[in-house]
Amino acid sequence: MTTAAENEILTRVGPGTPMGELMRQYWMPALKSSELVRDGEPVRFRLLCEDLIAFRDTSGRVGVMDHRCPHRCASLFFGRNEEGGLRCVYHGWKFDVDGNCLDMANVPPHQDFKHKVHAKTYKSAERNGIVYIYMGKADEAPPLPPVEATLVPEDQANIMFVHRDCNWLQGVEGELDTSHIGFLHLGTVSKEDYGTVQNSGDRFAVMNRTPEYASTETDFGFMYAAHRPADDGNTYWRFGQFLFPMWTMPPIGNISKNILARAYVPIDDNNHMIVIIEQLGFNAANSDAEAVRRQAPGGELKYRPNTTEWTGRWKLQENWKNDYLIDRTMQRDVNYTGLMGFVLQDQMITESMGAISDRTWEHLAPSDIAITKTRRVLVKAATDYAKDGTLPKSARDPRQFEGVRGGWFVESTGVDWQDGYRKQIANAPLAFDDVQAAE
């Protein structure tokens, strides 16, 4: 059982907390590049309990800084984005994307001390349509991690941001819980629903909804595999990956096509953002049976208009305040949930646990092995760093993320699970594996 003290370590992400400080040693996806326009309005947002703004300057560079002007703490969200910097409208002090004070407009030249003033900024980088932020010491920032889906060119990827009104760990654990596919998502699907379709691994998940598990810790985080009998002499494997500090690679599709990653980015203790990155054609490649299509695996996400509140971006129309517009007739006649779309189905369940789940209430089962072991990995990493500065290997060497992919496959029974995984990866070369070297 997870103790109350461990739950505090796992869920609190503000400055000075063990998990928050661990998170700050990794790059995090934070905004879509399209949200920032040259000389356009700043974007107000929150990350790891800190209130920030981002803007794109005249030359296209991105700046990310504490929203408070270092002069009198007025919010730079209201600033003028002009001629290579952001000017505070209170007294005209102007700052570039690195936080350097370029102008102290209300101070006579002989009293100017702008070279001593610096706005609090964080290092940012862009890759394929996403702005990443590093909130540790800038001179210690590693290269961007080569998580495979992030290397897919923007015009070949589907990128979705979704806000959730709950703690980040609940999102991660929903991905690690692979047995729920046979209930939450495919609860009313039967073996017969697949008809003549033979190339869908999901049929094995509905034939046997009680998988067993293998798992191991890795230098990038944690790997697990659920396994069930398949057809004669074969085993059906569902491999999922957890990559420090908040990435997952769920086994939604065949491992040869499953170029997909999801980041569960903490906004604050009670909110997080899912960043979903998948190669175009992903849903078409993985929705190969009418029974599954009926459940709308991708689901069309319907958003409320973004607002300028700290947590006002990428919120869905269906939410806890309107009971996710659950259709009880659909729940009786079509699927388990009365909702269409795997993302929305997960949203309902994850948020229903509350802002921060009280894990002392849980009665965990063998099917929760990936969750319990990932918690153990995270608690150890956070407390080790707080104790003596020891970090997971991946924090300073992102090459640990190379060659990692989730997905399902069918292999001869008796083949070692990790040998089977390595064989599958070798036969399905990773996409865009030369991009990192070119950056």
Amino acid 189 reads: V
Q: For position 194, what pLDDT does the model report?
A: 64
Query: In this structure, are residues 289 and 193 in contact, taking their beta carbons and an 8 Å threshold?
Result: yes
SS3 content of the chain, % helix, strand, coil (to 5): 30, 25, 40
What stretches in the chain show pLDDT beneath 70?
A: 191-201, 282-299, 429-439
Beta strand pairing status for 62-66 and 157-164?
unpaired
Query: How many whole angstroms separate alpha carbon 40 and alpha carbon 67?
Result: 16
Query: How many whole angstroms separate alpha carbon 275 and alpha carbon 186?
Result: 24
DSSP tag of 410: E
Q: For position 207, what pLDDT does the model report?
A: 73
Structure tokens, 329: 């007739």
Q: Please say whether the structural domain 27-140 has been given the CATH code 1.10.3720.10.
A: no
Provide the CATH number for the domain formed by 148-438 in this structure: 3.90.380.10
Residue entry with tokens 């890795």: 218
CA 332 to chain centre: 32
3-class DSSP state of 337: coil
Q: For position 437, what pLDDT does the model report?
A: 38
Span(s) in the chain for CATH 3.90.380.10? 148-438
Structure tokens, 417: 């699970």
Return contacts of 28-31, CB within 8 angstroms, 24+ apart. Answer: 28/132, 28/133, 28/134, 28/135, 28/246, 28/263, 28/265, 29/130, 29/131, 29/132, 29/150, 29/263, 29/265, 29/275, 30/54, 30/64, 30/131, 30/132, 30/133, 30/265, 30/273, 31/130, 31/131
Q: For residue 346, how many other CB atoms are within 10 A of its CB? A: 25
Q: For position 439, what pLDDT does the model report?
A: 45
Query: Which residues, 6 or more positions from 250, have their beta carbon under 8 angstroms from its beta carbon?
Result: 175, 178, 240, 260, 262, 406
- CA-based angle 407:413:418, to the nearest 5? 50
Structure tokens, 325: 């517009």
Q: For position 295, what pLDDT does the model report?
A: 47
Q: For position 184, what pLDDT does the model report?
A: 85
Q: For position 277, what pLDDT does the model report?
A: 96
Spatial CA neighbour of 55 closest among 29, 25, 76: 76
Q: At what angle do helices 168-176 and 369-388 cross, to 10 degrees?
A: 140
Span(s) in the chain for CATH 2.102.10.10? 27-140
Cα 72 to Cα 53, 54, 93, 269: the distances in Å are 17, 19, 10, 28
Burial letters 224-248, b for 16+ CB under 10 A, else e:
bbbbbebeeebbbbbbbbbbbbbbb
Q: At what angle do helices 369-388 and 4-11 cross, to 10 degrees?
A: 70
Q: For position 205, what pLDDT does the model report?
A: 73
Structure tokens, 308: 């300028």
Structure tokens, 365: 């089962």
Q: What is the pTM of this model?
A: 0.92
Full strand arrangement of the beta sheet holding 94-95 = 80-82, 85-87, 94-95, 101-103
Maximum distance among all Cα pairs of the chain, rounded to whole angstroms: 86
Structure tokens, 265: 């980015």
Burial letters 184-205, b for 16+ CB under 10 A, else e:
bbbbbbeeebbeeeeebbbbbb
